[in-house]
Chains A and B, each alone.
Chain A
Amino acid sequence: MSQSASQPMDAQILEAAKRRRLSFDNRYIAPLFITFILVVGHLSYGILESYEKTGIAILSALVAELVLGRIFFGKWLNLASAYISGISVGILVRSPALWPFALASVLSIMSKYVLRLKGRHLWNPSNFGICALLFLAPETVAALSVQWGNFKWPLIVIWTLGSIIIWRAKRFHISFTYVVSFFAFAFLRSYITGDSWWAEIAPITGPMYQLFVFFMVTDPKTTVKSTFWQCVVVFFVAFVEMLLRLNHVVHAPLYALFLVGPTAMVIEIWLESRRQANFGKNK
């Protein structure tokens, strides 16, 4: 019986391995999508300030990941995540100097290895790197805050494609909750400030938010585990963003994620360790 039972099991394993070989690794979807955004944006509108800056950002992230991964885990890590961090820095950081691109990328990757709690890193890497430079070098660094191009179609394509990819990655609920919350809070801000609702929703029509919604708030490594709490956390990101916006903070979404994301992670880690401690006691 055991033999007869093991035969289908082996077949299943073989089939799964075959499927893995033939199917596309989900880890590469996000890097491909962000590259798609970059290439389309650049070919259409020339969004890159220079090839050098984006190149330096990506290269710095990749090298940092390779070196640190080798040191800490003794192996060459998959570079998909580092690539996303680097390219995000390359797109989102705006500076006439070259060094902020390298520094933001390296800080992003290092934050994963330094700012850890119970084996998990707390900040979304590129969010950390970019916020650090916005805090520390405002005279040289700003974040992307302007529109790419003038047309609706690229916007619709990016949002649609992004949604499909995020859906496939089972993170759509996070992006969706954030977008719905943003619009709701935009109404509220408009009511409070008296500014046009169009002005309040203007930022989300820009490219910074495309990256923020699809790549930053959904980062699997720096979001809490349960689907429900992921939605709650991202709602709070939008809420804190609203508070910051009411206080005229220019880079409100980046700072909101910087504040809320790690807080949620710490709470989750604390709750988990408490649960494990209780489980140990009961055992």
Chain B
Amino acid sequence: MDKKPVRIILAVLFVALLATPLAIRRIAARRAAATAVRDATSALNRYGFYLEEVGEASKVKFTHQAPTLDRRLDHIMPQVASMGAGVSIVDFDRDGWSDIYVTNSGESSKNALFKNMTDGSFKDVAPELGIADVNQAGTGVSMGAVWGDYDNDGYEDLFLYKWGKPELFHNDAGKKFTRVTDKAKLPEWVNANTALWFDYDRDGRLDLFLGGYYSEEVDLWHLKTTKMMPESFEYAKNGGRKYLFHNLGDGAFEEISQKLGIDTRRWALAAAAADLRGTGNMDLFIANDYGISELFFYDGRQFREVGNETGVGFSPKSGMNASLGDVLNTGRYSIYVSNISEQGVLIQGNNLWVPREGTGGDGLRYDNLARAMDVEIGGWSFGAQFGDLNNDGMLDLYLVNGYISADREMNYWYDFSKIAGGNSTIISDAAHWPAMDGRSLSGYQQKKVWLNDGAGKFVDVAQAVGARDVYDGRSVALVDLWNRGVLDVVVANQKGPLLIYKNNVAPQNKWIAFELEGSASNRSAIGAEVRLVWDGRQQVQHVSGGSGFCSQNQRRLHFGLGQDPRVEKAEIRWPSGKVETIQKPIIGQTYKIKESA
């Protein structure tokens, strides 16, 4: 038989297959081009919102500084000292307007508390309140902060986590802050990059989770050895320990992590807690760098690690974010974990862990739908938050990224990939890492503002709606800064300015918000859930004591509703177990609800 025609057909097919990736790329480029509007009016008409950076106009002048660590790390200093820009939202003086706390990481640099002056401007009041000068030499530097009313006096207190001595500041009625670290019995030194308040045992007092990154044995300013890097790029277990501080109610905390089953030394970068199974107990999710994520179910007595069996802890990546959101309006939380993707070098892809239909309780299983829903590739991703940016009734996703923006022409990826493949004896020693020499590593990246289309897809509209900065984004928080019924965006950038994106939303899309205050439950109502039912839809949100990467959103729960909504009810589930329902709540209002006694 003459094979020639077959060979020709095969050759044509072969070429066609080779061309397939190019065709896929072309289609993706066309899709991206289709979203490319550049002016505010077009963005408003098309996407229902646009963002306007107003940091300077709001008198917010803050530029993050990175620390200078032990000289033996000089050659890779930008990489080691690459975190610390954190932002958290609080209404510290209970005036009804959200304020912004920002961390700084240079030695002797100052953190800032930007008080909302309600007229569009902010004023840094951290120095006069005693929470600015917290990065003094020998005490380490700030990485992030979370706010929670640990003593239920009505004012949010500040927990500051550092590469150094963690600090707790009591909020004295919004007038000043008193350092109560010693009374709280916090450890001397933790190289932490994540913390969150949550009342794990539902005793009405906020407890505290703290996650170590570098081992707590390491003083990054005075290294005993350069063998302090991760022992593997994907399987490292030589990171910092985890802490669970149980609130004893007298200002002191008892560390009980190991007693309750949280015993891990992975390199934690982010954590989030919520009742993921509908059991009434808070479950804890930890996103780890250099390894798998961990999920701890709490059964009322013990935490049990279930990452592998639920599916979220199977494939090791570089977890840098943990945020929860009901992205499909099913009344269940999905978990978003950011990772690293660099074209042609390392394509980890971010994870969107969506609860599998038909599973729940202890049999809860997750599927990674990041690719299917188009929220997978976000560069060297860091912080991300869910929030309804255009009030259309679906949660959108804001992601910041960019690792080290230095020389635009030269990058460090080759050397990074070279060492990342090394055995533990090589990779774990900083002395073996090639010098960065001013090169970038996934720098100058475009941010992602993924708009949820309500049909299972997200579309990146960042450039169209005005999120056009290319700083090295770390932390992002969503907040209605001016009580307008929209979510504004605050972004903390590593070695970059604090950005405030004022959100302008099409007025036809309606909203409703809830501010909760616990009585039997912790007063901050952290862990409380609101399930809103409207137009045959539902969405669940919870009050969070910290989420994303080194950040905390406003405690107020903001729901977009779309056009002409008919809200059926809002069901509030308190951490105490009580359930209250508001029938037919009025839209366009912020409900202030205190848990009934």
Please determine whether chains A and B interact with each other in the same assembly. yes
Chain A interface residues toward B at CB < 8 A: 45-46, 48-50, 68, 71-72, 94-97, 99-100, 103, 106-107, 110-111, 113-114, 132-134, 136-142, 145-152, 155, 193-196, 198-203, 205-206, 208, 245, 248-251
What 3 pairs across the A-B complex have the smallest Cβ distances?
A: A202-B422, A138-B344, A96-B349
Not counting A136-B18, A150-B236, A202-B426, a sample of 7 additional A-B residue pairs whose C-beta atoms are within 8 angstroms of each other reads A46-B316, A72-B3, A97-B371, A110-B17, A146-B232, A201-B422, A205-B426
List the one stretch of B8-16, B465-473, B502-510, B559-567 in contact with chain A.
B8-16
Cα distance, A146 to B317, chains bound together (Å): 11
Cα distance, A185 to B345, chains bound together (Å): 23
The contact of B435 among A95, A106, A195, A249, by CB within 8 Å, is A195
Q: Which residue of A lies closest to B22 (CB)?
A: A136
Q: Is the CB of A203 within 8 A of B347?
A: no
Cα distance, A95 to B343, chains bound together (Å): 11
Cα distance, A144 to B526, chains bound together (Å): 42
Min C-beta distance of A161 to chain B, whole Å: 17
A-B contact pairs, 30 of them (CB 8 A): A45-B234, A46-B315, A46-B316, A95-B347, A96-B370, A96-B376, A110-B10, A110-B17, A113-B7, A134-B344, A137-B21, A138-B344, A139-B344, A142-B345, A147-B232, A147-B234, A152-B424, A194-B435, A195-B415, A196-B434, A198-B422, A198-B426, A198-B432, A202-B422, A205-B426, A206-B422, A206-B423, A208-B421, A245-B414, A251-B344
B407-442 to A contact mask, C-beta < 8 Å, 1/0: 000000111011111111111010111110000000
Q: Is the CB of A195 within 8 A of B421?
A: no
Q: Is the CB of A141 within 8 A of B347?
A: yes
Confirm or deny: B346 has a beta carbon within 8 angstroms of a beta carbon on chain A.
yes
Confirm or deny: B122 has a beta carbon within 8 angstroms of a beta carbon on chain A.
no
Confirm or deny: B20 has a beta carbon within 8 angstroms of a beta carbon on chain A.
yes
Residues of B within 8 A of A103 (CB): 17, 20-21
Known: A46-B315, A114-B11, A142-B345. A147 touches B371 (CB 8 A): no
Q: Which residue of A lies closest to B413 (CB)?
A: A250
Residues of A within 8 A of B345 (CB): 142, 145, 250
Number of B residues, CB within 8 Å of A: 59
Confirm or deny: B235 has a beta carbon within 8 angstroms of a beta carbon on chain A.
yes
Q: Is the CB of A145 within 8 A of B431?
A: no
Q: Is the CB of B25 within 8 A of A147?
A: no
Residues of A within 8 A of B431 (CB): 196
Residues of B within 8 A of A68 (CB): 10
Min C-beta distance of A91 to chain B, whole Å: 14
Q: Which residue of B lies closest to A111 (CB)?
A: B14
Cα distance, A145 to B348, chains bound together (Å): 12
Confirm or deny: B569 has a beta carbon within 8 angstroms of a beta carbon on chain A.
no
Q: Is the CB of B316 within 8 A of A94?
A: no
Q: Is the CB of B6 within 8 A of A142?
A: no
Cα distance, A71 to B13, chains bound together (Å): 15
Residues of A within 8 A of B415 (CB): 195, 199, 248
Confirm or deny: B231 has a beta carbon within 8 angstroms of a beta carbon on chain A.
yes
Residues of A within 8 A of B418 (CB): 199-200, 202-203, 245
Residues of B within 8 A of A206 (CB): 421-423
Q: Is the CB of A205 within 8 A of B422?
A: yes
Residues of A within 8 A of B235 (CB): 45, 147-150
Known: A147-B232, A205-B426. A46 touches B314 (CB 8 A): yes
Q: Is the CB of A46 within 8 A of B371?
A: no
Residues of B within 8 A of A195 (CB): 415, 434-435
Cα distance, A201 to B426, chains bound together (Å): 9
Residues of B within 8 A of A155 (CB): 423
Confirm or deny: B233 has a beta carbon within 8 angstroms of a beta carbon on chain A.
yes
Q: Which residue of B lies closest to A206 (CB)?
A: B421
Cα distance, A202 to B426, chains bound together (Å): 7
Q: Is the CB of B24 within 8 A of A137?
A: yes
The contact of A46 among B18, B233, B292, B370, by CB within 8 Å, is B292
The contact of B423 among A145, A152, A245, by CB within 8 Å, is A152
Q: Which residue of A lies closest to B13 (CB)?
A: A110
Q: Is the CB of B429 within 8 A of A136?
A: no
Residues of A within 8 A of B348 (CB): 94, 96
Q: Is the CB of B10 within 8 A of A140?
A: no
Residues of B within 8 A of A48 (CB): 315
Cα distance, A138 to B371, chains bound together (Å): 16
Q: Is the CB of B347 within 8 A of A146?
A: no
Q: Which residue of A lies closest to B339 (CB)?
A: A96
Q: Is the CB of A199 within 8 A of B10?
A: no
Residues of B within 8 A of A203 (CB): 418, 421-422
Cα distance, A52 to B376, chains bound together (Å): 18
The contact of A250 among B17, B24, B344, by CB within 8 Å, is B344
Known: A147-B421, A147-B427. A113 touches B10 (CB 8 A): yes
Residues of B within 8 A of A147 (CB): 232-235, 420-424, 427
